[in-house]
Structure 1
Amino acid sequence: MDELELFQRLGVALAIGLLFGLERGRHQRDQREGGRIAGLRTFALAGLLGGVNGWLASLTAPVVLALAFLGLSVLLGVSYWLRLKEDDDVGLTTEIAFLLAFSLGAASVLGNMPAAAAVAVIAAVMLSMKKPLHRWVSRIKRLELEAVLKLGLLSVVILPLLPNQGYGPGAALNPYQIWWAVVLVAGLSFFGYAAIRLGGASLGPLVTGLFGGLASSTSTTLALSRLVRLQTDLVQHAAAGIVIAGSVTFLRILVLVAVFQPSLVAPLAIPMGVMAGFGFAGAAVLWFPTRHAEEGQGPLEELDNPLELSAALAFGALLSLILLAVQTLRDWMGSTGVYAGAALSGVTDVDALTISVSNLVADDLARTTGATAIFIAAAVNTVVKAGISFGVGGSALGLRVGPVYAAVIMAGAVSLWVLGWGI
């Protein structure tokens, strides 16, 4: 490298150290002078030291950098030991950050500068989020943590071992693809579930509806409908939350087809987008009169952890059943059979049907047929959620949710027809 590039890289190394030092200095600002392990200047020098040693290693041998890192580790180890003799409750965060600043300083000289800078920013953000992270961790239930670890084991360890080939009628059952679908849907659902759990009930029905739509729009509808039974003054809030959850479902469908069959995105983007848009607009109309009212505080106890092993396996079994049913109905009745299977599936689930149809389109099912089938499943599922609002939440809730959902389905059907993918 030439001199200009070297100075640029050393400048990045120094900036990385300054960034770490700024965060650590602020974190330790209440400690007495001399009582801090490292502040702004020391971290800046550590980053620059890493850059200089990286430069020397490029001129001589990599062992130079290794010895410098080892020497710095020993120095920090001795410092930590001395502090531990005075206080038995001492963390290692600052020491780790110091070594990371040194390492990233070296990486900025020897490797990719933007990557080193990006890692430094991410690390600084994590260092600054001590209290929020600790608060979130304290709210995680043991069963939730175990569920995440179990699914991680099954997906990371087992998934690569599954055969990636079809079995059964029409080779509809592919173990690898089925389990990959389980991992994706469960992960997407868990994101919404975790947002509700970590955010708490104080977020209110609106945000609950948003994240509940990722977890399970049907479960969210049921939970908010039951909430209205307990707190009738929340009917307007709950109606808006239910419609938001249902609208998120249409965007979720687009995410799934983008992963499993990108060619379906084009025929579905406008219908699903229109349905989501009408839904969010309807939710805004429902929410507007209540925008100054206090939001409800009822938690959604009915939402099950989607990363429980039983929930993941149940979805895998449902997906396998729908794959077989749609394939069988298609062989028996052609496109009409696919539509019938979509309508039946929509009563309970949209994700499984979306993935099933995506697999059929990957073989030889026409894109227009696949798009129409997915629309039918989404429409039927929307009608079911409107029925839950009426049956569980009462007429006051149902008469607010029902007309919005009717407009959503009508708008989706018209957009599908206008685009030439007739129903």
Structure 2
Amino acid sequence: MDNSQLLLLLVALALGMLIGLQRGWHERNTPAGGRIAGIRTFGLLALSGALAGVLTTPLGPGIAIAMGLAVTLLLGLAHWLDSNDDHDYGMTTVVAGIVTYLTGLLTVLGDLSLAVAVAVITTIVLHFKQTLHQALEHLSDSEMRGILQLALISAVLLPVLPNQSYGPWDALNPYEIWLMVVLIAGISLAAYFAMRLTGPDKGVMITSILGGLASSTALTLSLARMNARVPMPRLLACGILLASAIMYPRILLEVAVINPELLPPLLPPMLAMMLACVISAVWLWIKREPYAEVDTSKLSTQPFQLIPALQFGLLLAAILLIAHGIREHMGEQGLWLVSIVAGLTDVDAITLTLARMAQDSIGSETAVTGITLAAITNTLVKGGLALFAGHASLCRPLWPGLLFAVALALLTLWIL
């Protein structure tokens, strides 16, 4: 046995003991010898899995299967004997033991980082037993249905869609379009649960920050639909502006990775727009609706909203066709127009494209202007989505902040 194998065995032992640490803590008041497995047993289970992985080289995969069956039988027998005494028929420890054995096996035969992740996730799931059970007790039928519907469109439908381009100019990618539908529906459901757990104000802010990291456009549509059902325009406009403010540093990060030379000329317009959105968001947060005036009961009737997400998916497909058509017929001469059209749906794709092109085929000024125009367009689109999917009451607090950001961006472009 070489040093690398010895190291993997020690890692497997440590991972097993991590899981066993939680199990031992959970049953810390049980007298010695009264529990099925503790920190030492779980450590040895993971070590046995790792040893089985090492032995597969000289003995074949049958040894890992045989040892796995032996571990399962021993754990099952121990559980049967223990349940006869205390009439506790929970299978958590048995299942955790099997997972621990497989984690040890994965340490040697599979991906070490994946084995570490499995051990940590298993420990977390075991530790939050009480929290998970309480959450289930308070979960309504509509909320459970919403979770299952989201799982259906994301975990079942999304993976089977082809991730390749179709249609005119190869503009339509079914996987990417449906991914946006999943993202919008997921943000809506996450916003609902965040508001339920922490209240409307904190829930909207948490959702806006996380949604802004993923897609500020999808976040805008989700919050706009929420305002149509439960009017709280100043709070939701604050969330949209906060998500927009996160979009501009994300653009700078993407450019920094692809073409750092574009950062100096791109910083002024991006930082100006971010500053405008942050100032406007802070002002609306101060002026937000009092908690007592917000009635969120209408949200609980249908927390999962798929139809609005599907409508946006169709709109996205149409805009993609337009953008690709312009690019096909106008070429680089219409690059800025392409940037404007591309910004109607997403800024990431055009940002990465222009940053790459600025390395050899276009000037840096052209790239910076194109990226800024895409950001401006996307910012204005949020105001349109607020009117289209929400209500006029949302536009009144939202549009001044968006127009303030656009005005500062245009000013920086004109000055520089």
Q: How does 1:60-139 map to 2 (within 5 A)?
A: 60-82=59-81, 90-109=89-108, 113-134=112-133, 138=139
TM-score by structure 1 length? Answer: 0.70
Q: 1:276 aligned to 2:271?
A: no
Q: Which amino acid aligns with 2:281?
A: A
Q: Which amino acid aligns with 1:156?
A: P
Once superposed, what is the RMSD of the aligned Cα atoms? 4.8
What's the counterpart of residue 47 of structure 1?
A: 46
**Post-superposition shift, 1:237?**
4.8
Cα distance change of structure 1 residues 48 and 372 upon mapping to structure 2, 3 Å threshold: closer
What's the counterpart of residue 12 of structure 1?
A: 11
What's the counterpart of residue 159 of structure 2?
A: 156
What's the counterpart of residue 179 of structure 1?
A: 174
**Post-superposition shift, 1:98?**
0.9
Q: Is the 8 A contact 1:51 1:108 kept in 2?
A: yes
Cα distance change of structure 1 residues 281 and 89 upon mapping to structure 2, 3 Å threshold: farther
SS in 2 for 1:37: coil
Output one character per residue of 1:124-175: Cα deviation in whole Å (capped at 9) or x when no partner: 1222233444455636431441243134433222325xxx45533xx2x544
Residues in 2 aligned to 1:150 and 1:197: alpha-carbon distance in whole angstroms: 18
What's the counterpart of residue 408 of structure 1?
A: 405
Could you tell me which of 216, 219, 229 is aligned with 2:219?
216
Which stretch has the larger CA shift, 216-225 or 22-31? 216-225
Residues in 2 aligned to 1:286 and 1:41: alpha-carbon distance in whole angstroms: 56
Q: 1:142 aligned to 2:177?
A: no
Output one character per residue of 1:326-353: Cα deviation in whole Å (capped at 9) or x when no partner: 455667888898877987998xxx4268
Residues in 1 aligned to 2:278 and 2:334: alpha-carbon distance in whole angstroms: 32
Q: Which amino acid aligns with 2:151?
A: V
Number of positions where the alignment pairs a residue of Structure 1 with one of Structure 2: 393
Q: Is the 8 A contact 1:236 1:287 kept in 2?
A: yes
Residues in 1 aligned to 2:103 and 2:398: alpha-carbon distance in whole angstroms: 54
What's the counterpart of residue 317 of structure 1?
A: 314
What's the counterpart of residue 232 of structure 1?
A: none
Residues in 2 aligned to 1:345 and 1:288: alpha-carbon distance in whole angstroms: 34
SS in 1 for 2:89: coil
Output one character per residue of 1:262-310: Cα deviation in whole Å (capped at 9) or x when no partner: 78996897444542343124323544688xx86875438399746x3x4
Quote the sequence identity (%). Answer: 27
Gaps of 5+ in 2: none
SS in 1 for 2:157: helix
Residues in 2 aligned to 1:337 and 1:81: alpha-carbon distance in whole angstroms: 73
Could you tell me which of 189, 193, 198 is aligned with 1:194?
189
Residues in 2 aligned to 1:295 and 1:20: alpha-carbon distance in whole angstroms: 44
Q: Is the 8 A contact 2:182 2:309 kept in 1?
A: no
